[in-house]
């Protein structure tokens, strides 16, 4: 799983589709996924959007690799909880589906095994984020 994921990740980062880099395409897809998501990002500038995608991604991967939340992921989980950004758990499904769709269009070697590897790598961090919605 790690190897399939790592190799796919390298491929998508080196790729542009319609002149767009991977993270930009992912963000666009995610925001287009529902009016609720678009509304949450209404006030967000490019710089914060980049922080969310790249840095957040890195810490999700670290969580998968170690099963321990680092301080940063902890802070991100708190910032997304009901009391703060109020990102309800269902929105993480949209997040993951937007991500998988983006990988599908960026990775020319995309197949079921690659898809499963992405889902497995992302899931522990997503579970962690969702779990902290109400606590």
Whole-angstrom distance, CA of residue 23 vs CA of residue 73? 19
Burial tier of 63 (Cβ tally within 10 Å: 0-12, 13-18, 19+): buried
Least spacing, CB of residue 75 vs ligand HEM, in Å: 6
Binding site for ligand HEM (CB under 6 A): 37, 40-41, 43-44, 48, 51-52, 55-56, 60, 75-76, 79-80, 85, 87, 91-92, 95, 125-126, 129
Pick from 105, 128, 109: nearest CA to 5 = 109
Least spacing, CB of residue 85 vs ligand HEM, in Å: 5
Least spacing, CB of residue 2 vs ligand HEM, in Å: 19
- Counted residue by residue, the chain has a size of 135
1 or 111: whose CB is closer to ligand HEM?
1
């Amino acid at each position: 799983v790690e190897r399939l994921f790592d190799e796919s990740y390298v491929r998508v980062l080196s790729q542009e589709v319609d002149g767009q880099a991977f993270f930009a395409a992912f963000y666009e897809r995610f925001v287009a996924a529902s009016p609720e998501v678009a509304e949450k990002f209404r006030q967000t500038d490019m710089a914060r959007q980049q922080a969310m995608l790249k840095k957040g991604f890195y810490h999700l991967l670290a969580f998968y690799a170690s099963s321990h939340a680092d301080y940063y992921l902890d802070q991100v989980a708190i910032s997304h909880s009901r009391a703060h950004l109020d990102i309800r758990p269902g929105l993480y499904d949209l997040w993951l589906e937007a991500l998988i769709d983006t990988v599908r269009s960026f990775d020319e070697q995309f197949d079921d095994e690659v898809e499963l590897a992405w889902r497995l790598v992302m899931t522990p961090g997503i579970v962690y984020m969702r779990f902290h919605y109400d606590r």
